Structure 1
Amino acid sequence: MKKSGGFFQLADHGTTIKREVTAGVIGFFTIIYIVAVNSLILSEAGVPFEGAVIATILTSFIGCAIMAFWANAPILLVPGMGLNAMFTYTFVHAMALSWQEALGVVAVSGLIFFLVTVTKLADWLNASIPSVLKEAISVGLGFFLMLIGLEKGGLVVRGEHSILAMGNLGEPAVLLTVLTLIVTIIVFLKGIQGGFLWSILFGTIAAWVMGLLPEVGDTSFSFAVYGDVFSAFSLSKWATVPFWSAVFSLTMVLIFENIGLVHGHTEFAGRPDKFKRALQANAFSSFSSGILGTSPTVSTVESSAMIAAGGRTGLTTLTTGVLFLLSVFAIPYMKLIPDMAIAPVLMMIGSLMIQNIRHLDLTDLTDAIPALFIIVMIPFTYSIADGIAAGFILYPVLKIVMGRGREVSKLLWIVSLLFLFNFVLHYA
């Protein structure tokens, strides 16, 4: 006899409306920090800040709605940390693409990602890429976010006799970063719901008390500014090497990162049968990100907070999405958030991603060396794409040298050769 439960099949999942909505509210306060953090990072690429805020909110709402109605899974889709850094610091700053062209990269990569998810290619890629390389990408992204946070907070500066040096701890702004970082760590360790949001509020209030708030002038806000961001993506450089180099790199990261995240969340929720549809929802949301005006969405790790709170269906995700939409009323005040309040969150998120290093088996040096190069090269080159390429090229080379070429799958050979070809074209 078929159980009742409405569209989201609550009875079939052994849950209730109250439990699902409660889990969605918890998820919202766990991830709401992304609105301010993502917008500030995108603004450094040239995206109008107010437009970036609206884009982040709309993308998060639409992404959560897609996940809710297509996959009926308790997984949050919001612009991903690490990918926003890739958008700004790699595509725009390093590769000299405009932010509109970088949005074009996001749209094309998202479309390719979606096409991969509706075929068996996603499973083939997941099976052919060694787990040590996939885990190394997450660790490298973590170090990259920590470096960005340290720089934004003034704890690390360009050195006179070295590449990096310690910042001036006597400066009020740097001291505020340290104080806010301590608060961020404490609220996280204590498991306070919405801890990152509270630490951002603390840093902003402390900056106001110390007279360190940014001078933003008029805090009024108009939705008209979003007209400069929505559908602003450009494909004008579609025939150039940098454009397709960026597309290739972003697509690889989207596929490998999200396959791992979605698999982990669906397993945690006890519904591995939802993996395929959840991954498809993720991919379509990533594609829409380029149109809506932000870096791609990911199945964020904060989804685990909702699942742990009892969320089992898309109603949980939809609840979070609706709350994102309501947060639009806070936009006028987001311009007041200083870097010192954002930097500690970046450092903390980075440190959480670095913890994946415990999953790396470094006993086999033909695995360990490529993985470590990925981890080191991403922050040192300030390029996620170049860091990943270094490891993926080195891996098959070491296997061949040691007479173990058969351990490299045919698909991995293709991916590695594409990375090498991309290097040759880009730097020749």
Structure 2
Amino acid sequence: MSDPNPETGKKINEDNILERTFHLSENNTNIKTEILAGVTTFLTMAYIIFVNPSILSDAGMPFGGVFIATIAGAIVGTLSMALLANYPFALASGMGLNAFFAYTVVANMGVPWEAALGVVFIEGIIFILLSVTPVRKKIVNCIPMTLKAAISSGIGLFIAFIGLQNAGLVVSSQATLVKMGAEPLSGPSLVAIIGMIVTGVLYALQVRGALLLGIIASTIVGWFNGVTPPLEGIIAMPKFGEWSSVLFKLDIKAAMDVGIISVLLSFLFVDLFDTAGTLIGVSKQAGYIDEDGNLPKANRALLADAIGTTCGALFGTSTVTTFVESSSGVAEGGRTGLTGVVTALLFFLALFFKPLISIVPAAATAPALLCIGTMMMSNITDLDWNDFTEIFPAFITMIAMPLTYSISHGIAFGFIIYPVVKLFTGQGDKVNWLVYLLGVVFLGYFLWM
């Protein structure tokens, strides 16, 4: 007997399609939760739409073209992750990697930005080849459980540190490296503090959408003290003609120059372990790491990341990688690729809603980052605090991430110290041979790169 209400039948059919595609029930989630998670992820990482073009324009790249390229790269990378791995992880042009691209490779080394894009493209192709083989998966899965917990906790410290910077509560100092901002109860700092209270209370009360509501509340508070810029419209048609200034402008021939090999190795090294660290950290928060310490579908996730990087270079932007801000969507309950599809859709809409998206100040996202950092730090309870050979490398890994401002550097210190401590305390046979090899590789990287 047919359903008398065609609208009801249509809704059931749509739900079935989403269920079959993303296995919502199997992952203990639903459409409403996934949409909320996708919106939250987008809002916490939307800053990249404007920050990335600003950084790459310092390398001589046209701002308008990179603006569209950044969004295009985020859409392709995030959809690849959603559809290939069914993980709620969003991708975009990586912070740190874009600065390395603009200030080290182009500005200091004098490499034309077209050639630098060619290097990123080659890096992506290499990663695609490594991802369809067991190589990258073995590297990710060989990381000891101790370091996996440390990486997740270290990322928590790192993004909390970023949040404090965005709030203006922590600023640079020539005398002590960092210090408290001059006016902690005014400007962006006041917005962030009020946002922290609102977000913290809502999250403690288990209000759905606490992080998103905190971002909205902080943005509204910012209107009253001038931190949030005035709304000068809602919709603006994108200038797609500007994209032609960077689209397919990569110079692969120049990138093959032997003098750029060291640049390629640097991109490969940093991207590999930044991606691995972020995947492990956010996956552990989401509960994806199995009892053996392995990440299911690691190859698919890494392949999606490689596709994002390759397409990003073609589009005209620096390395596309998995974003640590994906943890905000996971914190809101996102567990499948539907979260990523929602995030990708919002990136597309951002092309048309640029005036609206651009008013969210960095201080408004700071409370969300601090809450996420708090939750990710809970992974330190997985450490064996009675075994110093475990907690010492873990601590160095954790503390190095925010203090070196690099996930990959934190991982490097952990990989160097962990096997050495184990070896000289008579526990060397408990360490995977690949961990020893990677420790040597990391040491060589610090010495020669």
Q: Quick check: 164-173 or 60-69, which moved more?
A: 60-69
Contact kept, 8 Å, 2:327 with 2:372, in 1: the verdict is: no
Corresponding residue number in structure 1 for 2:435: 412
For 1:412 and 1:266, the matched residues in 2 are separated by 24
Equivalent of 2:91, from 75, 79, 82?
Answer: 79
Secondary structure class of the residue paired with 1:164:
strand
Q: How many angstroms does 1:152 deviate by?
A: 2.4
Corresponding residue number in structure 1 for 2:268:
247
- What are the superposed Cα offsets for residues 92-150 of structure 1, whole Å, 9 maximum, x if unpaired? 56886789587666545544443333122244324432121232222222222222221
Counterpart for residue 370 of structure 1: 393
One-letter code aligned to 2:362: D
What is the aligned residue count? 412
Partners of 1:176 and 1:340 within 8 A in 2: yes
Paired position in structure 1 for 2:219? 204
Q: CA deviation at 1:417?
A: 1.0
Which of 407, 412, 435 does residue 384 from structure 1 map onto?
A: 407
Aligned in 2, Cα 1:11/1:33: closer, same or farther, shift over 3 Å? Answer: closer
SS at match of 1:10: helix
Matched residues in 1 for 2:214 and 2:436: separation? Answer: 45
Report what 2:197 is aligned to: 182
- Which whole-Å deviations, capped at 9, do the CAs of 1:272-293 have from their partners, x for residues lacking one? 9866545533443354344442
Q: 2:72 aligns with which of 40, 47, 58?
A: 58
Counterpart position of 1:155: 169
Aligned counterpart, 2:3: none
**What is the distance in 1 between the residues matched to 2:281 and 2:45?**
24
Paired AA for residue 210 in structure 1: N
Determine the C-alpha separation between the residues in 2 that align with 1:136 and 1:32: 26
TM-score, normalising length from structure 1? 0.77
CA-to-aligned-CA distance 1:48-70 (integer Å, 9 cap, x gap) = 77666544543343234334554
| Counterpart in the other structure of 1:143 | 157
8 Å CA contact retained: 1:258, 1:298? yes
Q: Residue 129 of structure 1: SS of its match in structure 2?
A: coil
What's 1:38 paired with?
48
Letter in 2 for 1:244: L
Which deviates more, 388-397 or 36-45? 36-45
Q: Deviations over 1:217-243 (max 9, x none)?
A: 999653444445545667758625354
* Per-residue deviation, 1:423: 0.7
- Bigger mean CA offset, 110-119 vs 132-141: 110-119
1:296 partnered with 2:320: yes
Unaligned runs of 5+ in 1: none
> How many angstroms does 1:256 deviate by?
4.8
Q: Which amino acid aligns with 2:273?
A: M
Tell whether the 8 Å contact from 2:123 to 2:268 is kept in structure 1 after alignment: yes
CA contact (8 A) 1:65 1:317 kept: yes
Name stretches of at least 5 consecutive residues in structure 2 with no aligned partner: 1-12
- The answer to whether the 8 Å contact 2:52/2:67 transfers is no
1:79 alignment partner AA: L
Alpha-carbon shift at residue 421 of structure 1 (Å): 0.7
Q: Secondary structure at the match of 1:329?
A: coil
The alpha-carbon distance between structure 1 residues 51 and 389, as it changes in their structure 2 partners (threshold 3 A), is: same
Q: Is the 8 A contact 1:135 1:359 kept in 2?
A: yes
Does residue 119 (structure 1) correspond to residue 129 (structure 2)? The answer is no
CA RMSD of aligned residues (A): 4.2
Compare 341-350 and 93-102 and name the one that shifted more. Answer: 93-102
Deviations 1:362-402 (A, max 9, x none): 33222221221111122222233332222211122222222
Mapped to 1, the partners of 2:180 and 2:339 lie a distance apart of: 44
Change (3 A) 1:94 1:147: farther
**Scaled by the length of structure 2, what TM-score is found?**
0.74
Matched, 1:128 2:149: no
Distance 1:337 1:25, change over 3 A: closer
Amino acid at match of 2:260: A
